[in-house]
Amino acid sequence: MENRKRQLFGLCLAWVILMAAGTLAFQAQKAVLTGSQTQPGQKLPIIMYHNISPNASRQGKYTVSVKEFENDLLYLRERGFTPILTAQLLEHVKQGKPLPAKPVMITFDDGFESFYAYAFPLLQKYNMCAIVAVVGQYADTYTRTEDHHLNYSYLTWPAIGELSRSGLVEIQSHTNNMHTITAKRRGCTINKGENKARYQEILRKDLQLNQEKIKKATGKEPTVLAYPYGAHCKASKEVLKEMGFQAAFTCAEKVNVIPEDKEDTDWLYTLGRYNRAHGASSQAFLKPILDQAESG
């Protein structure tokens, strides 16, 4: 009888230990999955777009339909999110100016002319703002040649200036001529074994040239770099800080957290963004992101 009791006690104890271990494992997994949910501070989701096309055959991982983009704007509004520009974020961090209760950023990489044709009118319609990161060489090419084929054309410098003056579009940098992945370099990151000083001089010259081009077109010098392909390194961040860039966009898919400690600004140089691909409804794509941004 005594042995029977000991066996039952042992089984109960083993069950309790197993359940506790399972609970701890679940909590650990939840912490990994939710990421920024466990960090104190205001949440900032950033959505990354590239191209827009009404042509179904063109739509894919980096090209959404016009209707998808409009539905995204409507869903953000329905959920109570307010688009902001990086200027507003920086004013909040550095000067304490308040942000909307639920901020979000809408960004467009590369500077496709489709933004002007399809996205800009919708931003005007709904009085929303967006950030466009342009590649200087692309704008040069399409300013020199009259080729407005919206499947592939890029914004001209006059169009970039017009967008900037609208007050709804903030123009930022996507490098002048480093938006490539070749055997020689992946975006604007340092190569393995490359001399750091030489690399930083190459990056500095490229970025400075784009700063000058964008300032000439808009009257404003960019404060943010959108890393080509999201690729970045410690040496590139050093150059950005030295040149006066105040933030950088990556392609890491995460909801950003604005720290309560405003002395900490290093996080601004690794802002994560969610790529918007064609195919999912606005709710299917945005709901998990916005739910995470709203979580305590």
Strands (E), the chain: 42-44, 46-49, 51-52, 63-64, 82-83, 103-110, 130-134, 169-173, 224-226, 247-249, 256-258, 274-275
Which phi-psi region, left, alpha or beta, contains residue 193 (left: φ > 0; alpha: ψ -120 to 50)? left
Under 8 Å between Cβ of 189 and 236: yes
Under 8 Å between Cβ of 288 and 76: no
Under 8 Å between Cβ of 113 and 124: no
In a shared domain, residues 8 and 74 = no
- Residues 6+ away with beta carbon under 8 Å from 207: 173, 175, 176, 225, 239, 240, 243, 245
What confidence score (pLDDT) does residue 16 get? Answer: 36
- Domain range enclosing 13: 1-33
Q: How far, in Å, CA of 7 to CA of 3, rounded?
A: 6
In a shared domain, residues 16 and 111 = no
In the chain, what is the straight-line distance between the N-terminal and C-terminal CA atoms, in Å?
52
What confidence score (pLDDT) does residue 35 get? Answer: 44
Residue 198 included in any domain: yes
Residue 90 included in any domain: yes
- The secondary structure of residue 39, as a DSSP letter, is S
Calculate the CA dihedral of residues 249, 255, 261, 265 and round it to 10 degrees.
-10
In a shared domain, residues 109 and 155 = yes
In a shared domain, residues 57 and 2 = no
In a shared domain, residues 107 and 226 = yes
Residues forming a β-bridge with 32 = none
- pLDDT tens-place string over residues 26-76: 343 344 334 444 567 899 999 999 999 999 999 999 999 999 999 999 999
In a shared domain, residues 203 and 229 = yes
| Residue ranges for the chain with pLDDT beneath 50 | 1-37
Q: What is the pTM of this model?
A: 0.86
Under 8 Å between Cβ of 133 and 108: yes
> Structural domain tally of the chain?
2
In a shared domain, residues 189 and 286 = yes
Comparing CA positions, the residue from 271, 261, 233, 223 lying closest to residue 96 is 261
What confidence score (pLDDT) does residue 5 get? Answer: 45
Alpha helices in 35-108 (DSSP H): 66-78, 86-95
Q: Which residue has the tokens 């709901």?
A: 287
Residue 38 included in any domain: no
Under 8 Å between Cβ of 229 and 186: yes
Residue 147 included in any domain: yes
In a shared domain, residues 103 and 160 = yes
251: domain CATH number is 3.20.20.370
What confidence score (pLDDT) does residue 182 get? Answer: 86
In a shared domain, residues 28 and 76 = no
In a shared domain, residues 109 and 245 = yes
In a shared domain, residues 55 and 79 = yes
Residue 271 included in any domain: yes
In a shared domain, residues 29 and 49 = no
Residue 13 included in any domain: yes
Residue 62 included in any domain: yes
Q: How far, in Å, CA of 118 to CA of 123, rounded?
A: 9
Comparing CA positions, the residue from 127, 116, 133, 117 lying closest to residue 74 is 127
